[in-house]
Structure 1
Amino acid sequence: MNQASLYQRANQVQRHDAKLILDEYANILQWRADGQDTLLDVGSGSGNVLMDFVHPLLPKDYSQLVGTDISSKMVGYANKCYHLYERTKFRVLDIGCQQLPAELQGRFDHVTSFYCLHWVQNLRVALGNIYELLRPEGGDCLLVFLASNPVYEVYKRLHSNPKWSSYMQDVDQYISPLHYSADPVEKFCQLISDAGFTYHNVELRSEVFVYEGVRTLKDNVKAICPFLERIPSEMHEEFLNDFVAIVISMNLQEGGNSEDEQRFISSYKLIVAYARKSPDFVRTTLNINSAIKSIKNIK
């Protein structure tokens, strides 16, 4: 995940899902009456999802927008790309850390996160930290991450190949902690409640994304695969070829014989969770489930 410029170009799935979900939840987030909102994003990566889809939703007089990522290279890239934006900065943060930086605790009205929490094995600690990031008097969060994805099965099969096993000994650390759960919604609801949130709405969504052509698929793998940086660069193309071969063996490919004509079908499941720290509703008559259904019906 350290190839920031490549990730910026190859994160079509993340952008697609973030936009759709934010369209639904933009009017449900508890925006402040004075417009002085502060928002922290967890796992911002190269920053383009945050700046293209979250930033435009903020009140024009928002107080502060903070993007965070565990990768210092991603943070450096994002700061370079978006340094002209006022009241906006990116910084390193491991949301799975045992102790949050003191200057971040209780500072934010909103926490968002897109395609990050499936990288965190200890969701209990991560949710506790998200709770502590929000102001003591209240705040809300919108969290979107993978519950399951066929890429995890590809990783497991690559790990069983002696050629790659030494580079992937910790493969289970890179599989979503909900991937093998019989009821990921129930499990995540319990974790949110245990963290202290007084209201939550958790959905499991089935999604499909199509990668057009072998190169598109390989670029996505290069952008997000955590094992490539351990593998000698001269073996990268061989690894990617083996990755594609496994995808084809799993019947996730269709189309012609040429690489440009082939299409790769990824069916995956997303957790979409909205939670509030305080029971106080900015709009006391708002019913979240009916609001979401109304928005969908309009579309």
Structure 2
Amino acid sequence: MNQASLYQRANQVQRHDAKLILDEYSSRLQWRSDGQDSLLDVGSGSGNVLMDFVYPLLPKSYEQLVGTDISSKMVGYANNCYRRYERTQFQVLDIGCDRLPEQLKGRFDHVTSFYCLHWVQNLRVALNNIYDLLRNEGGDCLLVFLASNPVYEVYKVLHTNAKWAAYMQDVEQFISPLHTSSKPAEQFKQLLNEAGFHYKNVEVRSEVFVYEGVRTLKDNVKAICPFLERMPADLHEEFLDDFVDVVVSMNLKQQTDGDQQQQRFASPYKLVVAYARKSSTLLGNVLSEMSSTKSLKGVS
């Protein structure tokens, strides 16, 4: 997923889902009463989902906005694109790391993440880290990621092809850890509970996205497929052709008139949408009470 400029143009599914979910959940976030919110986004990629849909929700007086990604190329691209925004920065972070950078611990009121956590095999560690990113007095997170997607089955098929096997030996590392779960919502809710979150709301939504044309499908695959980086560039188009052939064999191509480039491909997928709070008490209420206490002490 290091082709940042391509990802910026080919992440329609991520943008579509992020906007819908933020429209629904923005009023549930524990916004601070003083407007000094700080927010960290996990897996920001090229930055356009964060800046187009999350940034506008922040109070004008927000304290800081930090976008993170495991890819230094993505981070560099995002910093270059959005350098004009004050109190906003992008930095490298592996949310599945064993030890969080000390300077990030307990600094944020909100953590968001869109289409990232399915890349993390150890969700328990990732959730512990997200919990530790939030302020000690409380905070909340909105996490959206794939439970299952046909692309994972396509990867498995291509992995058995002698042409591609050498580039896909660790294919299981790039398949969502919930892909084969019979109860992904319950499993993820339990992980949130083990991490220490008090309030938890987890649902799994069944969605379908339609790719208009072979080129659109290929561009989306090219933007996110981790295996293309490992093979010579002159093999990319052949790999993408084989990818499309497998998609067709899975009966995901819709019947349409016209040439091949105008074919439509339906991708049914399951999306985890999770909202959780570190504290059982609304952060805004806590801050208001703290402010009132200080005022009373000043009067006395």
Name the structure 1 match of 2:296. Answer: none
Deviations 1:228-273 (CA, angstroms, capped at 9, x unpaired) = 0001100000000000000000000022351232000000000000
Give distance in 2, aligned partners of 1:15 and 1:100.
28
Name the structure 2 match of 1:46. Answer: 46
Q: How many residues align?
A: 284
Q: Which runs of 5+ in 2 are unaligned?
A: 286-300
Contact 1:43 1:67 in 2 (8 A): yes
Name the structure 1 match of 2:276. Answer: 275
Q: Does 1:170 align with 2:170?
A: yes
Give distance in 2, aligned partners of 1:259 and 1:81.
35
Give distance in 2, aligned partners of 1:85 and 1:260.
39
Q: Does 1:78 align with 2:78?
A: yes
Give distance in 2, aligned partners of 1:269 and 1:218.
21
Contact 2:150 2:269 in 1 (8 A): yes
Contact 2:138 2:283 in 1 (8 A): no
Name the structure 1 match of 2:148. Answer: 148
Q: 1:75 to 1:283 in 2, by over 3 A?
A: closer
Q: CA deviation at 1:283?
A: 7.5
1:118-129 to 2 correspondences below 5 Å: 118-129=118-129
Percentage identity across paired residues of the two chains: 77
1:4-23 to 2 correspondences below 5 Å: 4-23=4-23
Give distance in 2, aligned partners of 1:260 and 1:161.
25
Name the structure 1 match of 2:265. Answer: 264
Contact 2:198 2:277 in 1 (8 A): yes
Q: Which runs of 5+ in 1 are unaligned?
A: 285-299
Give distance in 2, aligned partners of 1:68 and 1:10.
19
Name the structure 1 match of 2:109. Answer: 109
Secondary structure in 1 aligned to 2:76?
A: helix
Q: Which structure is larger by alpha-carbon Rg, 1 or 2? A: 2
Secondary structure in 1 aligned to 2:163?
A: helix
User: Amino acid of the residue matched to residue 151 of structure 2?
Assistant: V
Contact 2:6 2:219 in 1 (8 A): yes
Give distance in 2, aligned partners of 1:152 and 1:87.
38
Secondary structure in 1 aligned to 2:223?
A: helix
Name the structure 2 match of 1:209. Answer: 209
- Aligned-pair Cα RMSD in Å: 0.9
Runs of 4+ with >6 A deviation: none
User: Amino acid of the residue matched to residue 46 of structure 1?
Assistant: S
Structure 2 length-normalised TM: 0.94
